[in-house]
Copies of this chain bind each other. A is one copy, B any other.
Amino acid sequence: MTSRSTAATARTSSEVRAVARTQTLLKGSNGIGTVRRTVLPGGLRVVTETLPSVRSATFGIWAHVGSRDETPALNGATHYLEHLLFKGTKQRTALDISAAIDAVGGEMNAFTAKEYTCYYARVLDTDLPLAIDVVCDMLTGSLIEQADVDAERNVILEEIAMTEDDAGDCVHDLFAHTMLGDTPLGRPVLGTVDTINALDAGRIRRFYKKHYDPRHLVVAAAGNVDHNKVVRQVRAAFEKAGALKATDATPIAPRDGRRILRASGKVELIERKTEQAHVVLGMPGLARTDERRWALSVLNTALGGGMSSRLFQEVREKRGLAYTVYSYTSGFADCGLFGVYAGCRPSQVHDVLKICRDELDQVAAHGLSDEEIGRAIGQLSGSTVLGLEDTGALMNRIGKSELCWGEHMSVDDMLARIAAVTPDDVREVAREILGQRPSLSVIGPLKNRQAARLSEAVA
């Protein structure tokens, strides 16, 4: 209590700096929240979006580390570490951590991607201080003991086995391998049975120390939250852990660079005795910051983004050849992928691939109709607004924006960028992206002649 009242009356120089570093980034209105950022001494960024009309809050911490930061021997370490942060700190056992959030009906989880890791808890607004306390403790005070590493190794091997059984999920990992090969971006986030078996507490602890420095972290909170209160609580939690000592540290910048992907015409097949075969037919896409991404979003939506999209209509609606078919984009800091996924019985694979390839070629050559583009713009606009009602989605948006772009865009600006896409923009990006020779990844029960015919789709 004493130190708190001292802090309120006599600010230290670092606190003055911290206060001076608070900015309002976006002004809220009409159901959209106000976004603010404070950079704490130690280089820790705190961004919040305040939306007083809701009763919940989502609190998350993003670490600027993903599987692309792993050496081959460390493959899977980022995700392993994510699991270990739930296993206990100096203050809390694993049960203490989960019981604290369960007891208030909150939802706590984490996810590891190729370029970042995020830990979050969604709770009633009145339970936000608890969520901040628990998640900050996990991030700053993890013990990473050998016994926990060993117990959790089995859980991760189970997770790998579970993913192996889900061929429709696995085929996306295979596609990354097809396009990017045995590189950090091409390897699976989960690692492999061999790398997971080889990791020990010492190596994971070093990885933790290196990548969970406050300069590499972004704290994000959204919902019925008060920016200044969140900043004070986060600061107290990090200071208690001794994590904000380097008072002049500045946050690290988003990743950058440009990388040209050269894969084209490749075919990779993993034979597996499933009922369905799963295919991804695709090509290099666009990096996350590429200005053409708005046109590519419109293209992707019209081609394979909904039930009225070309691919859904041609493959499922007219011919009943698949239950699931869609296209997607994935953007990294320096490159990206564009892919078409379908799952169907093996007897249909060649028909499905032919239709998908024909549509890609058609759109590359002729673009899309004005009607298709208008509908896709409407679809993207509506789903953007609908997608931001949940405080978890808001937290994701501001956290990822801060970490990956270093800047924030208002919903109105996003809608304006989408609305500004012209048929010519779409035609140009279609020619450039879809005009490339595709590659193909397949998991399913295809043998001999059926397997040999796969190369037709990438000719």
Contacts and interface: CB of A to CB of B under 8 A. Distances in A.
Interface of A: 31, 53-56, 86, 94-95, 98-99, 101-108, 122-124, 127, 150-155, 157-159, 161-162, 164-168, 273-276, 305-309, 312-313, 316-324, 343-345, 374-375, 378-386, 389-391
A103 B390 contact: no
A99 B382 contact: no
A158 to B, nearest CB: 4
A275 B316 CA distance: 30
Nearest to A160: B275
Nearest to A343: B162
A98 B306 contact: yes
A152 B319 CA distance: 8
Nearest to A381: B105
A106 B319 CA distance: 25
B386 A307 contact: no
Contact of A378 (B105, B161, B276): B105
B102 A379 contact: yes
User: Which A-B residue pairs are the 7 nearest by beta carbons?
Assistant: A105-B382, A154-B320, A98-B307, A161-B275, A105-B383, A158-B323, A99-B308
B382 A313 contact: no
B55 A275 contact: no
Contacts of A344: 158
Given A157-B345, A273-B273, 15 more contacts: A31-B54, A56-B389, A95-B317, A98-B307, A99-B308, A102-B306, A103-B308, A105-B380, A124-B382, A124-B385, A151-B320, A158-B323, A162-B276, A162-B343, A389-B389
Nearest to A317: B94
Contacts of A391: 389
B105 A159 contact: no
Contacts of A274: 165
A328 B94 CA distance: 23
A106 B385 contact: no
Contacts of A307: 86, 98, 101-102, 108
A155 B382 contact: no
22 contacts: A31-B54, A86-B307, A98-B306, A99-B375, A103-B378, A104-B379, A105-B384, A106-B383, A108-B307, A151-B318, A151-B319, A155-B320, A155-B322, A157-B345, A158-B321, A159-B323, A161-B275, A161-B276, A162-B168, A162-B276, A166-B166, A389-B389
B55 A102 contact: no
A378 B309 CA distance: 44
Nearest to A150: B320
Nearest to A316: B155
Count chain B CB atoms within 10 A of each CB in A308, A322, A382, A391 and give the residue with the most: A382
A386 B317 contact: no
A306 to B, nearest CB: 4
B158 A343 contact: yes
A161 B278 CA distance: 12
A275 B56 CA distance: 39
Count chain B CB atoms within 10 A of each CB in A105, A305, A306 and give the residue with the most: A105
A390 B388 CA distance: 11
Contacts of A122: 386
Nearest to A278: B165
Contacts of A162: 168, 275-276, 323-324, 343
